[in-house]
Amino acid sequence: MKVLILGGVAAGTKAAAKIKRQDQSADVTILVKDRDISYAGCGLPYYVGGLIETRDELIVNTPQKYTALTGAKVLTGREAVGLNAAAKTVTAKNLTSGETETYEYDSLIIATGASSVIPPIEGAAQQGVFKLRTPDDAIALRGYLEQNAAKNAVVIGGGFIGLEAAENLLTQGLNVTVLDVAGQIMPGVLDEEMAGFARKKLQAAGIRVMTGTAAQAILGDGRVTAVKTEAGTLPADVVVVSAGIRPNTAFLEGSGLEMVKGTIPVDGQLRTNLPDVYAAGDCALVTNRLTGAAQWSPMGSSANMEGRTLAMALTGENKRYPGVLGTGVVKLPGLNCGRTGLTEAAARQAGYDVVTALMVSDDKAHYYPDSAWFATKLIADKATHKLLGIQVLGPGAVDKMVDIAVTGISMGAALEDFDNLDLAYAPPFSTAIHPFVQAVYLLENKLEGKIASITPAEYQAGAAKGYRVVDAAPAPAVHGATFVQLETLNGPVEGLDKDDKLLIVCSKGKRAYFMQNRLRSYGYTNTLVLEGATFFNDVRVESVGAKVSPAEVTRVKALGFLWDKRTPDKFNGRVITRNGKLTAAEQMAVAQAAEKFGSGEVTMTSRLTLEIQGVPFSNIEPLREYLLNAGLEMGGTGSKVRPVVSCKGTTCQYGLIDTFDLSQEIHERFYKGYHEVKLPHKFKIAVGGCPNNCVKPDLNDLGVIGQRIPQIQLDKCRGCKVCQIEETCPIHVAKMENGKIHIDPEACNHCGRCVGKCPFKAVEDHIDGYRIYIGGRWGKKVAQGRYLDKVFTDRQEVLDVIEKAILLFREQGITAERFADTVARIGFEEVQRQLLDSGLLARKQENLAAQKHMKGGATC
């Protein structure tokens, strides 16, 4: 039997290896276009992020190694260009010699895979624009990042690969924005409310997500500098395009092979419409295992199984490929996402009478040190109780939840079949009743009427309008809701009529269910439990004028909202503005947000942060969501590193350093990077472009000031009666002494204005650098910072000193004292010694992991 296989990677190599194991006499030849026959395509983003260090780790097999292992012949550099099914031949171009070659076959397997689609965006051919499909793509991208010191990345496409790329670019220290023209991330993979929750987690991790936004053009002059979108222009040093893939089947046009949008329909034995021609992998159109409908599912896992099944069928075994469920799992920063089966939308479209349930549960014993949570959505058929799909989000092992569902769906299981599954339990691994089974119980209770609930999707659609919100948390947690203490509920509740429409909420859902059960027994007939509770949903109560609890005031202050004490329920929300530097589109978004969610007024703080005034408590979450979609963050309060402030830098006539660039790097590394690190008090950083100190760096906890140190060449000094250097010096420390110019190095403030002023070039050279002040403060107690003795000439060293100052404050500061107090208590000389030493960085992880139990001292 002569088997010709077009394409390697997953399906092709798996089929070839299995054919040779089944029948050693088979003559198997693989033609591949590239030099690599088999590589870890799913590992490419992690090579970009540095988790996979070398190219060799991505290569599963070389042609030589593969041939030695399997006996199949491999010919690289051959691109298939035509198929003659009647003659049973394939023509291919030898990419080395340029000649056309003809190959005969008894059986042909088309496993040519798919390639990334680059949308027709103006400027997409520039340097710095990448796709991520092959090892060479990943190598080129990582190399470009390293060689060009890229800071800003835009990822076009919010699917699995795009989001994995975004996570790994974030890991490399870039400021990352994800664009998707769809109204959500992972369209078709997750239902809208699950995608919305995942998006919030991504944004909290530092990835800017803009949905419903198309990339209009990639800007630059041969090298990318920005991406123009409908929502404004985004700075970009690198662009990753992950906007979909297209099957590599164009060469088959006119061959008689049936194709659907470039994919090749196959039956259960991977046969096409042409005799002895088969297809597998990313170019094949298989079926959905649940519905039987055609489904394209280009995944490495299914490609391998298709290749193996096809090989067994070709060698005489009665094997059939049952189709796909669309199973997938993706690692995101601080969040994993898994799914299989039908989404709710797809199940309804397929004609099922759909019922869903969403449950937030512990992922393992709650007392175990690294316990976290799962947010699990189950989709089932109301009539048969058959499980149709699952979507799971959480920091931990979401794959085990998905794998249970895959097994059940594949075996046609109904919900009741999961009730008493003897699944593995020990505190480090699971809960006593498995989280999957807990979610099944919720859905069964819902079907049996034991719980009346509303899903997050229904809540977002307004299905709870007219319901009175009852707060079932241990302590009041929902502003404006009616709080009822579950533990003391032993009869009708004063103020609640038994016919009232009540929406019961708690933190995760369990207490709300308990309360509904108890209220029912007391005659309350119209209650709903909110699935996912406040953990998953933004619960808002229309309660104008209701006083906000102190706990809620504290909570939203951490989000950047400061209570207007003249009102019971209004707040001023701080918008992080990158030193007051906003795009026109961002400024419009702020203005529109102020009109829509606040009083219509916008003020500017002394630290160049915008505040939207008069935001009712119930509008806080909608405002944050609105601005996040415009790429803007809110925050900048609490006992943490605060947003950086800077002067105009080199756009000012006296500016010596690019303050916007430096302060942006400080912002990303310390405001964002240390956002979850609690300090004894707030820590303010200012960057000044010159010793004029316009933004008062010396009155901040830490200040950086640009320096230009003049270098005098006395042999060129002519001892002029009117010295231009002396005349230029704004602080009069440059003086003629004994017929030569002298600048007192202790008195000079290094403004650099004297440089280049001598007509004889006595002060022509200079050294650019930075001076660092520590321990300044403005407010109730004013303290002037003192600068470190060293003038720094290396920017990285400046960043390291800033980090060491923050670490020192966390390690040695006392709750509620400012950094100035810490410096005064320890002593400037000792603090300076530590900031110039490496010890603080050496014990960084130990410091950050320490349970300091700080209360913090910042009140605004």
Query: Are the C-beta atoms of 130 and 241 separated by less than 8 Å?
Result: yes
What pLDDT, on the 0 to 100 scale, is given for residue 544?
62
Catalytic choice (42, 652, 694, 720)? 42
Q: For helices 620-629 and 584-597, what crossing angle results, to 10°?
A: 160
What pLDDT, on the 0 to 100 scale, is given for residue 586?
86
What pLDDT, on the 0 to 100 scale, is given for residue 205?
87
What pLDDT, on the 0 to 100 scale, is given for residue 237?
94
Query: Are the C-beta atoms of 289 and 325 separated by less than 8 Å?
Result: yes
Q: Where are the domains of the chain?
A: 2-115+247-314, 118-243, 334-450, 454-536, 550-629
Q: Which residues pair with 336 in a beta bridge?
A: 331, 394
What are 627's two structure tokens?
């601005």
- Count the neighbouring beta carbons within 10 Å of the beta carbon of residue 841: 13
Q: Between 3.40.225.10, 3.20.20.70, 3.50.50.60, 3.40.50.970, what CATH number should domain 2-115+247-314 receive?
A: 3.50.50.60
- Tell me if domain 2-115+247-314 and domain 118-243 are identical in fold: yes
Q: Which CATH superfamily is domain 118-243 in?
A: FAD/NAD(P)-binding domain (3.50.50.60)
Q: Compute the distance between CA of residue 473 and CA of residue 511 in angstroms, rounded to an integer.
A: 7
550-629 classified as CATH 3.30.70: yes
Q: Compute the distance between CA of residue 661 and CA of residue 307 in angstroms, rounded to an integer.
A: 51
Q: What angle do CA 729, 731, 737 make, to 5 degrees?
A: 65
Half-sphere exposure of 372 (CA within 13 A, CB side): 12
What is residue 830's three-state secondary structure? helix
Beta strands 527-530 and 114-116 are: unpaired
454-536 classified as CATH 3.40.250.10: yes
DSSP letters, 596-664, are: HHS-S-EEE-TTS-EEEEEEEGGGHHHHHHHHHHTT--B---SSSBPPPEE--GGGSTT--S-HHHHHH
What pLDDT, on the 0 to 100 scale, is given for residue 543?
66
DSSP letters, 742-807, are: EE-TTT-----TTTT--TT-TT-EEEEEEEEEES-B-SSS-B--EE-SPPB--HHHHHHHHHHHHH
Q: Between 3.40.50.11810, 3.30.390.30, 3.30.930.10, 3.40.50.620, what CATH number should domain 334-450 receive?
A: 3.30.390.30
Q: Compute the distance between CA of residue 574 and CA of residue 637 in angstroms, rounded to an integer.
A: 8
Q: Compute the distance between CA of residue 593 and CA of residue 599 in angstroms, rounded to an integer.
A: 10
What pLDDT, on the 0 to 100 scale, is given for residue 233?
86
What pLDDT, on the 0 to 100 scale, is given for residue 853?
65
Distance, C-alpha 318 to centroid of its chain: 45
Query: Are the C-beta atoms of 209 and 226 separated by less than 8 Å?
Result: no
Q: Compute the distance between CA of residue 435 and CA of residue 393 in angstroms, rounded to an integer.
A: 12
- Count the neighbouring beta carbons within 10 Å of the beta carbon of residue 715: 7
What are 628's two structure tokens?
């996040």
What pLDDT, on the 0 to 100 scale, is given for residue 793?
93
For residue 300, give the H/E element and its range: helix 300-314
DSSP letters, 79-137, are: EEEEEETTTTEEEEEETTT--EEEEE-SEEEE---EEE-----BTTTSBTEE--SSHHH
> By C-alpha distance, which of 224, 44, 60, 209 is closest to 141?
44
What is residue 535's three-state secondary structure? helix
Which letter does DSSP use for residue 567 in this model? S
**Residue 42 annotated among the catalytic residues of the structure:** yes
Report the 3 state secondary structure along 660-688: HHHHHHHHHHHHHCCCCCCCCCCECEEEE
Q: Compute the distance between CA of residue 644 and CA of residue 668 in angstroms, rounded to an integer.
A: 10
* Low-confidence spans in the chain with pLDDT less than 70: 543-544, 853-854, 859-860
- Count the neighbouring beta carbons within 10 Å of the beta carbon of residue 523: 10
